[in-house]
A and B are shown apart, each in its own frame.
Chain A
Amino acid sequence: MMKNSCLLLSLLLLGVLTSPAYAEIEQYHLVIKNHQFTPDNLVVPAGKKVKIVVENQDSSPEEFESHDLDREKIITGNSKASIYVGPLETGSYTFFGEFNPKTAKGTLTVE
């Protein structure tokens, strides 16, 4: 039992230590219209957790998907959805609309 408690305590401590304090979360906006993303290149800072608000102005649903970011989220027609990403390393991350992959394409530039 003692051993278990020690293990538990050290794991909790590990959790506290590895948790960075999020002072604030910045928001960035993306718009889907006519099955296209605007802007098609979104620039966000590196090393920070950010919130991307995607507004779907089309009447049909879309799925925001990114293999690079490991994110997927359905955004119903004429509605908004928020997606948290990061903290990310610098680089370029592609995303697309799974329901209209030919037209709905974009990149997230992290710098």
Chain B
Amino acid sequence: MLSTALIVFREVLEAALIVGILLTATEGVATRGRWISFGLGAGLIGACIIAVFAEAIAEASEGMGQEIFNAGVLFAATAMLAWHNLWMARHGRELATRMKTVGQGVGENSRPLYMLSIVIALAVLREGSEVVLFTYGIAAAGTGTLPMLGGGLLGIAFGTGVGAALYFGLLRIPTRYLFTATAWLIVLLAAGMASQASAYLIQAGVLHALKPVLWDTSMILSEHSLLGEMLHTLVGYDDRPSAMQFLVYIASIIIVGAMTLAASKPVTLRAAGTTAVIVVSVVVTLSLISIPAHAAQQTYCCSTVDRVETKSM
């Protein structure tokens, strides 16, 4: 039961922290409850669908489908967060003014919250599908449904609790700074997601790591401790990042950060565009360079095991 609780907690935690930040970012918006529930619901249904098709996904892209899928989900969430910040940069000031004058309850029509719905749905879908697969494994082993259910609920309760604590903690930020603070939290969240996505592409052998381990701070703060895991979600902390991951992280902060500032300074938007073009070209080039690796693998290889397999077939 405790092992189930722990694993469910860790998966729920990530989604709960993201929901916590987005709840804060939408503070004062009347319709947010509907949009966030919609995201959660869609994510849960999506998680079950993904779990059912886990095998098909895994077999896609020459066995690298899972990594490509995860990277795609994370990049999509990054893009949605960036878009949200860009929109907020354009319209945030009037929202803040209205919030100050009218108090709570900014009009229903004012914000395209579906972007945040999608982010939540994607987060729940990714983490949730792992929970579904894990619990399916336990159920298949037949070690009792009741302890599993209890553990699962315990995990969900604790995970949601941490997310709620984050939300109420962030609400202590004075209203005047609230949107600025959440905007920058979203920048870090987005950069962390992009860096994690690149890690999946490296794992799939599609993207070059440049240097597999840029630094190792696992002795100081393990990425798999509670604090490490929270920082991993919130700001993209990685105790052993590759050089490519670091590059993608920094590039995302620059791009999404510039988009966040874009409204006040049109120049920054152009700068962001240029940076985006450069960064994308570099990443694309680096990926192209690593493609010959696959080609070579097919012609040259293989280890003895593969030869044996071929013979026996």
How far does the alpha carbon of A83 sit from the alpha carbon of B205 in the complex, in Å? Answer: 9
Q: Give every chain B residue within 8 A of A27 (Cβ-Cβ).
A: 301-303, 305-306
A83 to chain B, nearest CB (A): 7
How far does the alpha carbon of A18 sit from the alpha carbon of B44 in the complex, in Å? Answer: 42
Q: Give every chain B residue within 8 A of A40 (Cβ-Cβ).
A: none
A14 to chain B, nearest CB (A): 8
B143 to chain A, nearest CB (A): 11
Task: Check if B223 is an interface residue, CB within 8 A of chain A.
Answer: yes
Q: Give every chain B residue within 8 A of A60 (Cβ-Cβ).
A: 136-138, 140-141
Q: Give every chain B residue within 8 A of A99 (Cβ-Cβ).
A: 7, 133-134, 137
Q: Is the interface of A mostly helix, strand, loop or mixed?
A: mixed
- Which interface residue of B199, B203, B305 has the most chain A CB atoms within 10 A? B203
Task: Check if B282 is an interface residue, CB within 8 A of chain A.
Answer: yes
Task: Check if B210 is an interface residue, CB within 8 A of chain A.
Answer: yes
Interchain CB contact under 8 A, A70 and B55: no
Q: Closest residue to B55 on the A side, CB-wise?
A: A76
Q: Closest residue to B10 on the A side, CB-wise?
A: A98
Chain B residues numbered 105-133 whose CB sits less than 8 Å from any CB in chain A: 130, 133
Number of A residues near B (Cβ < 8 Å) is: 48
B34 to chain A, nearest CB (A): 33
How far does the alpha carbon of A89 sit from the alpha carbon of B7 in the complex, in Å? Answer: 31
Interchain CB contact under 8 A, B203 and A76: no
Interchain CB contact under 8 A, A23 and B296: yes
Task: Check if A43 is an interface residue, CB within 8 A of chain B.
Answer: no
Q: Closest residue to A22 on the B side, CB-wise?
A: B293
A79 to chain B, nearest CB (A): 6
Q: Is the interface of B mostly helix, strand, loop or mixed?
A: helix
A-B contact count (CB 8 A): 122
Q: Mark B200-212, 1 if CB is under 8 A from A, else 0.
A: 0011110010111
Stretch of B59-67, B88-96, B160-168, B261-269 with 4 or more beta carbons under 8 angstroms from chain A: B59-67
Q: Give every chain A residue within 8 A of B7 (Cβ-Cβ).
A: 98-99
How far does the alpha carbon of A17 sit from the alpha carbon of B240 in the complex, in Å? Answer: 23
B287 to chain A, nearest CB (A): 10
Q: Give every chain A residue within 8 A of B224 (Cβ-Cβ).
A: 67
Q: Closest residue to B300 on the A side, CB-wise?
A: A24
Q: Closest residue to A88 on the B side, CB-wise?
A: B212
Q: Give every chain A residue within 8 A of B138 (Cβ-Cβ).
A: 60
Q: Give every chain A residue within 8 A of B199 (Cβ-Cβ).
A: 70
Q: Give every chain A residue within 8 A of B49 (Cβ-Cβ).
A: none
Q: Mark A41-81, 1 if CB is under 8 A from B, else 0.
A: 00000000101010000011111000110110111110111
Q: Please give the residue numbers on chain A whose beta carbons come within 8 Å of chain B beta carbons, in ascending order.
A: 4, 7-8, 11-12, 15-16, 18-19, 21-29, 49, 51, 53, 59-63, 67-68, 70-71, 73-77, 79-84, 86-88, 98-99, 101-102
Nearest first, the 3 A-B pairs at minimum CB distance are A60-B137, A22-B293, A24-B300
Pairs across A and B, CB under 8 Å, 30 listed: A4-B274, A4-B278, A8-B281, A8-B282, A12-B285, A15-B208, A15-B286, A18-B211, A21-B292, A24-B296, A24-B300, A25-B293, A25-B297, A27-B301, A27-B303, A59-B140, A60-B138, A63-B133, A67-B223, A67-B224, A73-B203, A74-B58, A76-B54, A76-B58, A77-B140, A80-B63, A81-B63, A84-B205, A99-B133, A99-B134
Q: A12-B285, A99-B133 are in contact. List 12 more A-B contacts (CB 8 A).
A: A19-B208, A21-B292, A22-B297, A49-B293, A51-B297, A60-B137, A67-B218, A73-B203, A77-B140, A81-B58, A86-B212, A99-B7
